[in-house]
Amino acid sequence: MVRALFMISVNTKFPTDSHGWAELLPERQARQALSGSHRVPWVVVGAGLTGLACARRLGELHPDQEILLLDARQVGQGASGRNSGFAVATSQFPGGVVLKQIENYRRVNRINREGLDLLSAQVSRNAIDCQWCEQGIYHTAADRMAMKEYEHFLHYLETLEIDHRVLDKTALHDRLGTDLYQVGIHVTGGALLQPAALVRGLADTLPANVRLHEQSPALKIEDGKPITLHLATGEVKTDKLLLAMNYEAPTLGFLRRYIIGSTLSGSFTRVLSKKELASLGSLSEWGVISLHGGGATLRLTRDHRLCIRNAAEYYGSKLLPDKKLIQRKPIHRAAFDKRFPQLAQVAFEFSWSGVEGISRNGTNFFGLQRDNIYLAGGYNGSGISRGTAFGTAIADYASGETSRTVSDCLASAPGAWMPPWPLLDIGAFFTVHSRFRGVGLDR
């Protein structure tokens, strides 16, 4: 018996815009949309970091088989090209260290490290020009609530023997050019990057047996042997289907009421002058993550721009339209001026929004969903390194391979259930809004 899962019609357009890190790159010719009828052994839906890693690994494992990679948008216009560009090796867990969770902390960090190492090797091997900078990440605190998290984070790093360096206000000013932060920690593991450039580079260097089609949204799945995937202008029959759609998995009937999308927004400055750069301390590029979960993220990029992201909201798991994005710019500006009053004259040149997939209990999703249908997703803001590891591992898992990373991904806690609409929208609004509770100066 064949069972069909129909996509909600309002989501068939997969709206996007031209904003974000891709605005800083040359124009790119998208791969042709898929049309007609096709029969392949493997299909991957979603060409973000998870899907790209999955397709790459499938191509390596099955060099004589064709792998079809589909994306509803152009490469780099999804969440993977719209984040702040932090590939973390060490995750922060809010609150004090819970001794019975030590092994779970280590498990998550092993996944992070695996993804980081995979990306580092791919960037080097394929000469991907994405401003890759593997010099660690700064975690900072500006007010009382963030200072509490600083104490917790420091204890966590010491307990797990993670390499780090504590910095006081003067040391932070000397490195970052701001007096806002009272204390910080430099965690030596982790990389900074230009996310849209990374995703484009990974897409352009896939194995020869991986065929990428952009602007090809999957609209309906029919279970069966083979599985049938319906698109607007064609269909694909496949033996195995791997979903790398993150917060959009519910549009095909998976993870409904287990994952939502939080919409974040930020702005880039114009290119800074030499004098302006000199006011930003001794480092040529850096990245800052607030120790308060709702605080701002900051980047000084290799191409001499400052980037700030300090707004998050529930907007139906969609990007902000231009009108609302313009309304968020004063929020970005206020946070920027608070940190860099010496650069008050520096204008923002670009603003953007992006959507991150979050689960109610902060877990990730990995494994078999239905017969021969696999899924990986839900990274709660840590999708660059973790998504890469999950994508590689789900390809291994679907191919019958075993590894430490597969076992670590399978050990993710079950997702916590979310109520149906309209309570879901109400709960999602307050869930995202609560991230800013007490954020204070760190916003």
Question: Look-up: residue for tokens 């069966």?
Answer: 224
At 110, list the tokens.
Answer: 């092993």
Average pLDDT over residues 417-434: 66
Kindly report, residue by residue over 364-412, the tens digit of the pLDDT. Answer: 999 999 999 999 999 988 999 999 999 999 999 999 999 999 999 999 9
User: What is the reported pLDDT for 7?
Assistant: 35
Residue 4's pLDDT band (boundaries 50, 70, 90)?
very low
Q: Rounded to an integer, what distance in angstroms lies between the CA atom of residue 103 and that of residue 99?
A: 9
At 283, the pLDDT band (50, 70, 90 cuts) reads very high
Residue 1: its pLDDT value, please? Answer: 34
Given a cut of 80, is residue 31 above it in pLDDT?
yes
Mean pLDDT, range 349-376, rounded to an integer: 95
**pLDDT at residue 5, as a whole number:** 40
Least Cα distance to 52 among 407, 388, 423 occurs for: 388
Q: Listing from the earlier edge strand, what are the strands of the sheet with 164-168?
A: 164-168, 183-187, 137-141, 286-290, 297-300, 306-313, 260-269, 348-358
Confidence band for 423, pLDDT divided at 50, 70 and 90 = low
Calpha distance 277→284 (Å, rounded): 8
| pLDDT at residue 420 greater than cutoff 80 | no
CA 403 to chain centre: 23
**Average pLDDT rounded to a whole number, residues 32-38:** 97
Domains of the chain and any CATH numbers: 4-81+197-260+361-420 (3.50.50.60)
Supply the mean pLDDT for the chain: 93
Indicate the pLDDT class of residue 11, thresholds 50, 70 and 90. very low
Q: How confident is the model at residue 430 (pLDDT cuts 50, 70, 90)?
A: low
DSSP string, 74-143: -TTSSGGGSS--EE-SS---SSS--GGGHHHHHHHHHHHHHHHHHHHHHHHHTT--S--B-S-EEEEE-S
Residue 43 clears pLDDT 90, i.e. is over it: yes
Q: Tokens at residue 252, please?
A: 């095909």
pLDDT in tens, 169-199: 999 999 999 999 999 999 999 999 999 999 9
299 or 4, higher pLDDT: 299
How much is the average pLDDT of 47-58?
Answer: 98
Of 317 and 366, the structure prediction assigns the larger pLDDT to: 366
> Quick check: 6 pLDDT over 50?
no
The pLDDT assigned to 388 comes to 98
Contact yes or no for 172/280 (Cβ under 8 A): no
Residue 50 or residue 428, greater confidence? 50
CB 251 within 8 A of CB 72: no
> Quick one: which of 224, 194, 211, 208 has its CA closest to 22?
194
